[in-house]
Structure 1
Amino acid sequence: MDKRGARFFAIGATALSALVFGALTLDSHRQFDKLTNAQNLTPQVVSGKDVWHKYNCINCHTLFGEGAYYAPDLTKITQHRGEAYLTAYMRDPSRFYDEQRHRRLMPRQNLSEQEIKDLIVFLDWVSKVDNQGWPPRPILVTGATIPGTDLSAEQRRQGPSPGTPQTLPPGARPVTPEQDPIALGQALFRSVQPACNACHSVAPGVNLAGPSLSGLATRAAQTVADPGYKGGARDAAGYIRESIVQPSAHLVPGAMYSANGQSFMPNTYGSSLQPQQIDQLVAYLATLK
């Protein structure tokens, strides 16, 4: 190729690249409203965004993977924690985490009740933005380790590598391809939205946002037999089912998992899960004795 041909090739390639780039830019702008959940951008969402900036939340937290990385990414936080939990947490974070145990302590910002409501609405709007899988996984702060395993926190978040044996916590069962309701329930425990294992561990003594479910079936039977029980279940399986679909039917006295008569457990599973899925979850949880 002579100089003239090389010049025309460079000009043509540049023009073609510019055309493709321009087309992709126009296509992105065409989809922005849908991708960014713009149709639900209400005045309360904007007010919540102002609260986010006012208290410099991004100095510690991240949204869409962007921020300080000192504290958890909050892109999908409202899909992992319900409004009751987030409200109580923002009122007084020290009731949930302490510096001695977790080596971190979110400062109490003294937000007003309206600021808390607006901030939760903003975070809920953020959670519905189509971020196309970014960040690839939420940054979870649990403040706990699973006894009896030698996996790091990062390895537990990512899961086992192909061909690598996995050390399972107590009560866990390997998921089999057979239509085993217990194995299917264990799979649902990790895959439903919000994911059960985002708040609950099945290892003894490992309390996350919710209590450890180790020994759940035994405690369920004891709770139903207790005269102070206020729910409608008649046996352990019924209590487990009730805890999934009606978490506020019975609140454990003195436990920091509820506020103002409302459980922090999401109350959406009864409508978001099919009856057979609830049966599978109950079947799995009933094995945790």
Structure 2
Amino acid sequence: MNKKQSRTFAIACTAVATVAFLGLTIDSHRQFPKLTNADQLTPQVIAGKDVWHKFNCVNCHTLFGEGAYYAPDLTKIAKLRGDAYLQAYMRNPAQFYDEQRHRRLMPKQDLSDEEIRNLVSFLTWVSNVDNQGWPPRPILVTGATFPGTDMTAQQQAETSGEKTDGSAVPPGARPLSGNENPIALGERVFRAATPACAACHSLAPGVNMAGPSLSGVGSRAAQLIGSPDYKGKARDVAGYIREAVQSPSAHVVPGPMYSANGVSFMPDTYSKSLTPEQLDQLVAYLSSLR
């Protein structure tokens, strides 16, 4: 290839690349309204965005992978925590964590009720944007995990059959082989449900996140059912767990970070998002954690 041919080839390649780039750019802008749910940009959502900027939330948090990477990514937080939890948390973060133990660094911003509602609306709109899997590995709240992301050290130990202290893990806490095993299938439901159970509940003893640890939940349920403190209607462990999944407020676990005014922060949508078979599998899995 001589110099003239090389020059022509380079110009042609540049032209093709430019056309492709422009075409992809135009196509992206064409799809933005649908991908971002532009029709859902209500005045309340826009006001919530202003609250986000007013209080410089981006100085610590990230959205779509953009931000300070100092605190958890909040792109999908509205789907993981829900409206009631977020409102209570924004009013007073201190009641959700022990500052000495957990090193809570989230300041109390003294937002008004209207600002809180607007900010939650904004985060809900953000959570519904089709971000096509970006960021691939968001910063998560302590102990949480999503399918496709790295697990915490404790969770990795649990799935391998060992605890971080070297002792054995209860059989129900590790994934079992064989699609026919309801406990194995239930463990997958635990990780893949929407929202993922693992985003709020840890399987490690004493590790309480947005929801209480589920380590030994089968044994605790058996004790609770016979206690006068129990407010639900279940008569056995499986019934208690099923009730907790489908009607979280039937019996509220004590603690300001789990409920407000007798209403659990846990979503009550699992009876719709899970099939009856998946619910049976999840109950079998959680019942095995003793």
TM-score by length of 2: 0.88
3-state SS of paired residue (1:133): coil
Kindly, what percent of the aligned residue pairs are identical?
Answer: 66
1:218 is the counterpart of 2:219 = yes
**What is the SS of the residue equivalent to 1:105?**
coil
Quote the Cα distance in structure 2 between the aligned partners of 1:65 and 1:232.
Answer: 44
- Which residue of 2 is the match for residue 249 of structure 1? 250
SS in 2 for 1:248: helix
- Report deviation, 1:155: 5.5
Q: 2:119, 2:162 → 1: CA distance? A: 37
Which residue in the other structure is 1:137 paired with? 137
Could you tell me whether the CA contact under 8 Å between 1:200 and 1:208 is conserved in 2? yes
1:199 aligns with 2:195: no
For 1:85, the equivalent position in structure 2 comes to: 85
Which one-letter code corresponds to 1:177 in the other structure?
G
Over residues 194-226 of structure 1, what are the superposed CA-to-partner deviations in whole Å (9 max), with x where a residue is unaligned? 111111112221111111112212221222222
Mean Cα deviation higher: 172-181 or 43-52 = 172-181
Greater displacement, 7-16 / 121-130: 7-16
1:76/1:138 contact within 8 Å kept: no
Spell out, residue by residue over 1:214-245, the C-alpha distance to the aligned partner (whole angstroms, 9 max, x if none). 22122212222223422221222111100000
Matched, 1:33 2:33: yes
Worse-superposed segment, 169-178 or 201-210:
169-178
Distance across 1 between alignment mates of 2:277 and 2:194: 16
Change (3 A) 1:103 1:119: same
Q: Unaligned stretches of 5+ in structure 1?
A: 145-152
In the alignment, is residue 166 of structure 1 matched against residue 160 of structure 2? yes
Separation (CA, whole Å) in 1 of partners of 2:204 and 2:140: 17
Q: What secondary structure does 2:215 align onto?
A: coil
Query: Are 1:264 and 2:265 matched, yes or no?
Result: yes
1:97 and 2:97 matched = yes
* Cα RMSD, aligned residues only: 2.3
Q: Take 1:201 and 1:167, find their aligned partners in 2: how far apart are those partners?
A: 16
Contact persistence 1:237–1:282 (CA under 8 A): yes
1:251–1:263 CA contact under 8 A, matched in 2 = yes
Change (3 A) 1:206 1:59: same
Q: Which amino acid aligns with 2:285?
A: Y
Moved more, 34-43 or 5-14: 5-14
For structure 2, the residue ranges without an aligned partner over 5 or more in a row are 164-168
Give the aligned partner of residue 126 of structure 1: 126
Question: Is the aligned partner of 1:3 residue 2:9?
Answer: no
Q: Does 1:156 align with 2:152?
A: yes
**Partner of 1:236 in structure 2?**
237
CA distance in 1 between partners of 2:11 and 2:226 (Å): 82
Distance 1:67 1:255, change over 3 A: closer
How far apart, in 2, do the equivalents of 1:168 and 1:58 lie?
Answer: 38
Q: What is the one-letter code of the residue matched to 2:187?
A: Q
1:4 partner amino acid: K
Aligned residues: 277
TM-score scaled by structure 1?
0.89
CA contact (8 A) 1:199 1:209 kept: yes
Where 1:279 maps in the other structure, the secondary structure is helix
1:61 aligned partner, one-letter code? H
8 and 44 in structure 1: CA distance in 2 versus 1, 3 angstrom threshold: same
Structure 1 pair 239/72, CA: closer, same or farther in 2 (3 Å)? Answer: same
Mapped to 1, the partners of 2:177 and 2:56 lie a distance apart of: 46
